[in-house]
């Protein structure tokens, strides 16, 4: 049973995912993304635009979601987080455009500058995570060409 092609392939993919998530780049992206999410959640109070309640609530929710999305999935299943990384990119884009999309007068300089900078950082970290997840997924898929039941794709 230990030499069954599917068992061997799953073990190889798991080992590659473990190696990928312990690389300094993957750990750095995950840590920076978590800190970016925490800053985004606290940014209304740090940058001083907490009186704009709709944007403050938006940043709190999106920041928590971003931090959990980026730190929750990569530690458990790095090779399957490609779509989660693209969702993080979408949250970064939303953070950039949120001051202009949210109803009410939220276009203060502090809120716009804070959201654009944090959104750009979140977008770049999401893209870095997506590239890392895609690279890991493609290297895990190329474990020798044996597909399901040991049959190669030719």
154 lies in some domain: no
pLDDT value at position 101? 87
Per-residue pLDDT of the chain (154 residues; tens, 9 = 90+): 566 566 666 666 555 544 445 577 778 888 899 999 999 999 999 988 878 788 899 999 999 999 988 876 554 555 555 567 788 899 999 999 998 888 666 667 888 899 999 999 999 998 988 776 555 555 555 544 444 334 444 3
Concatenated DSSP letters of 35-54: HHHHHHHHHHHHHT-TTSHH
Token code pair at residue 23: 């690389």
Assigned domain for 87 exists: yes
pLDDT of residue 153: 44
What is the residue range of 56's domain?
A: 5-145
Residue 152 is assigned to a structural domain of this protein: no
Q: What is the DSSP letter of 151?
A: P
Structural domain contains residue 150: no
> Is 153 within a domain?
no
Domain-embedded: residue 90: yes
Tally of domains within the chain: 1
Has residue 16 been placed in a domain? yes
The 3-state DSSP class for residue 6 equals helix
As a whole number of Å, the end-to-end CA separation of the chain is 26
Residue with the two structure tokens 């092609």 = 5
- The pTM score is 0.69
Buried b (16+ CB within 10 A) or exposed e, 74-111: beeebbebbebbbbbbebbebbbebbeebeeebebeeb
Neighbouring-strand partners of residue 121: none
The answer to whether residue 32 is domain-embedded is: yes
Instruction: Give burial (CB, 10 Å; 0-12/13-18/19+) of 144.
Output: exposed
């Amino acid at each position: 049973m230990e030499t069954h092609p599917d068992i061997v392939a799953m073990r190889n993919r798991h080992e590659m995912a473990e190696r990928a998530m312990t690389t300094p780049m993957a750990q750095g992206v995950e840590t920076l993304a978590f800190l970016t999410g925490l800053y985004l959640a606290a940014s209304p109070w740090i940058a001083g635009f907490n009186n704009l309640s709709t944007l403050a609530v938006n940043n709190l929710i999106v920041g928590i979601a971003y931090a959990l999305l980026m730190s929750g999935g990569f530690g458990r299943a790095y090779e399957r987080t490609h779509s989660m990384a693209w969702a993080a990119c979408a949250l970064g884009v939303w953070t950039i455009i949120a001051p202009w999309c949210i109803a009410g007068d939220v276009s203060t300089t502090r809120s716009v500058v804070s959201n654009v900078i944090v959104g750009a950082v979140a977008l770049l970290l999401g893209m870095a995570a997506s590239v890392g997840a895609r690279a890991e997924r493609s290297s895990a898929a190329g474990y020798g060409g044996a597909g399901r039941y040991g049959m190669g794709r030719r």
